[in-house]
A and B are shown apart, each in its own frame.
Chain A
Amino acid sequence: MNETPMDASRNTPRPVGPIIEIADMHKWYGDFHVLQEINLQVQAGERIVICGPSGSGKSTLIRCINRLEEHQRGRILVDGIELTNDIKNIEKIRMEVGMVFQHFNLFPHLTILENLTLGPIWVRKTPKKEAEETAMMFLEKVHIAEQAKKFPGQLSGGQQQRVAIARSLCMKPKVMLFDEPTSALDPEMVKEVLDVMINLAEEGMTMLVVTHEMGFAKSVAHRVMFMDFGQIVEENNPHDFFENPSHERTRLFLSQILN
């Protein structure tokens, strides 16, 4: 019986076991085997950084977790619910999994505040006033409350990405996925976004982060994973991962990225 009502499951202590469980998962784009035999368990509160060369499947992997991409073999369970073609389950999982995109993907026709309240009002059925209060609270948290009435197009990239993080947080997700959140930013804006993410980590959010910010990985991650050619090549705690990588490919990648 996975069918516990949403609110009950939020209030009761989390059931023992991983919040994300991926077992023997494969994915193909046509004939191209983009993800091969992925096994991954994420505990609640765990922070995982995924790195790897472009085209290695790291983005595809986290996009499978909220079904922006469909996997063809194996199982993905999020919060005890299996991802299948059942749209009800997909919607349930998407409510609990927040996602931050490389290109922010804010809704340009809505104000910042409306961007933040849209999900809570329409998906979680939160009353508008309450949703706005929560939104303002999160905007304060990402230091951008004074921009609430503006449109996304009037903000800088770093500000937009912080809004995007706040938008996901407004849904009170159990897991946050970050798909290269700083790659599209000008260098001087990377820090403001990383600071927000570090704060989030300190509050105990479960995070899966695809990034090339190795400094962030070192200081925040519990585990760092290296992916190449659709496989998880290596996975370790940050200290051992950076000091003592066991695979040649990892070593090569790290030497390239860290100069």
Chain B
Amino acid sequence: MTRPTPAPQHTGDMKPPVSEVGVLGWMRKNLFNTWYNSLLTVLILFGLWQVVPPLVRWAFIDSLWNSSSEACRDIDGACWSIIPANIKFILFGFFPEGQDWRPITAIILLLALVYYSKDRRHWTRTLAVLWPIGLAVMATLMYGGVFGMPIVETAQWSGLPLTLMLALFGMVAAYPLGVILALGRRSRMPAIKALCVVYIELIRGVPLISVLFMSSVMFPLFLPEGVTIDKILRAQVAIILFTAAYIAEVVRGGLQAMARGQYEAADSLGLKYGQAMRLIILPQALKIVIPPSMGILISAFKDTSLVVIIALYDILKTTQVSLSNPKWMGYSTEAYIFLAVFYFLCCFAMSSFSRKLERDLHTGR
């Protein structure tokens, strides 16, 4: 690495002092630059030393991954065996024995649909058709009654397919509904505006739990004799209505953040209201609110676990039920860590998707 030309005479070519570069320099600058920072560094290192090695030992070294429950009694480490031993019930709950292929296919279909929708080039009208079709196919797979598949009542739908369906269809339906509500709230027509304001404020004024209760307990009381609406469907609608109200307010923020000039430029070209919104305003406004919208969708995903209180067995509940089996009692830490990892992976996928989307949609400035 020799330079062909002689070094210039000015000081620009001088190297910084050794103490400023490399690992040592970095540590000196960031960890030990004052006596109290040095003290903090030492304390934190001591704390980590106390916590991390035992944790690693518990989780990985002394642990059992695929054993009987009896074997677990004799070890100090984690008993991860609770997950594989109960995996069928955790994932599929009360779905009848021997019919597992149906929820598995449904989940694969759903994930395929999500994967297809991830690509921005696929965001066309087909998508608006594909999702309802996907929903219908999945419902048929789960419910059966055709092609020789025995009927499985929705009361037996549980575990992972229930969580994923409630969450994904909840989000997919709530988002456009929220956008419509946001536009309605900014409408110049007083009736539409009032309707949207009342809706949004009412829904935001109550907790999701009470909306779910209403949908499962109170709503059926108002239905005429003999008419019943499926419980899962009611929960799904409750989640959609609830999430949409929050999306609406976030989107309204995005609409307000738009410069007035954009509306005027669209108007002065002679675009109609619908065209201006669809082509000019919403693409920009929705882009602005990607981070908070994703925040709402992520919390909606996690909130699906609240359906427990109306006796639906989502993946959280099926895991809890597995814990009540006397054979596996006492391993709740392991089970909940498993759940935490599952929820984390889903949410992390969502948030990295939103960051990617932001990057892709960046057009300079």
**Residues of A bordering B, CB below 8 Å:** 66-68, 91-92, 94-95, 97-99, 101, 103, 105-109, 118-119, 122-123, 151-154, 167-168, 171
Contacts and interface: CB of A to CB of B under 8 A. Distances in A.
Contacts of A168: 268
A108 B365 contact: yes
B284 A108 contact: yes
A151 B259 CA distance: 18
A255 B270 CA distance: 40
Nearest to B272: A91
Contacts of B264: 68, 99, 101, 105
A109 B361 contact: yes
A122 B271 contact: yes
18 contacts: A68-B267, A94-B268, A94-B270, A99-B265, A99-B268, A105-B265, A106-B265, A107-B266, A108-B364, A108-B365, A109-B361, A118-B269, A119-B270, A151-B364, A152-B365, A153-B364, A168-B268, A171-B270
Contact of B364 (A66, A119, A123, A154): A154
A118 B261 contact: no
A217 to B, nearest CB: 23
Contacts of A153: 363-365
A97 B270 CA distance: 9
Contacts of B269: 94, 118-119, 123, 167, 171
Given A101-B265, A108-B364, A171-B270, 13 more contacts: A68-B268, A94-B268, A94-B270, A95-B270, A99-B268, A101-B264, A105-B259, A105-B265, A107-B280, A107-B284, A123-B270, A152-B365, A154-B365
A123 B271 contact: yes
Contacts of A92: 270
Nearest to B269: A119
Contacts of B272: 91
B324 interface: no
Interface of B: 259, 261-262, 264-272, 275, 279-280, 283-284, 287, 361, 363-365
Nearest to B364: A153
B363 A109 contact: yes
Q: Which of A95, A108, A171 has the most CB of B within 10 A?
A: A108
Contacts of A122: 271, 275, 279
A66 B268 CA distance: 7
A107 B364 CA distance: 12
Contact of B261 (A66, A105, A119): A105
A109 B258 CA distance: 12
A106 B280 CA distance: 10
A122 B339 CA distance: 50
A122 B361 CA distance: 23
Given A68-B264, A101-B261, A109 B284 contact: yes
Contacts of B361: 109
Nearest to A63: B264
A135 to B, nearest CB: 13
B287 to A, nearest CB: 7
Contacts of A118: 269, 271, 279-280
Nearest to A107: B280
Contacts of A66: 267-268
A145 to B, nearest CB: 19
A256 to B, nearest CB: 28
Nearest to A115: B265
Nearest to B278: A122
Nearest to B284: A109
Q: Which of A98, A107, A153, A171 has the most CB of B within 10 A?
A: A107
A118 B272 CA distance: 12
Contacts of B365: 108, 152-154
Contacts of B265: 99, 101, 105-107
B214 to A, nearest CB: 40
Q: Which of B261, B269, B271 has the most CB of A within 10 A?
A: B269
A171 B262 CA distance: 17
7 closest Cβ pairs, A-B complex? A153-B364, A153-B365, A105-B265, A105-B261, A94-B270, A151-B363, A119-B269
A258 B247 CA distance: 54
A167 to B, nearest CB: 8
A109 B361 CA distance: 8
B285 to A, nearest CB: 10
B251 to A, nearest CB: 16
B360 to A, nearest CB: 12
B271 A119 contact: yes
Contact of B287 (A91, A97, A109): A109
Q: Which of B265, B266, B365 has the most CB of A within 10 A?
A: B265
Nearest to A177: B268
Contacts of A152: 363-365
A183 to B, nearest CB: 14
Contacts of A171: 269-270
Nearest to A164: B265
Contacts of B259: 103, 105
Nearest to B365: A153
B127 to A, nearest CB: 19
Contacts of B280: 107, 118
Contacts of A109: 283-284, 287, 361, 363
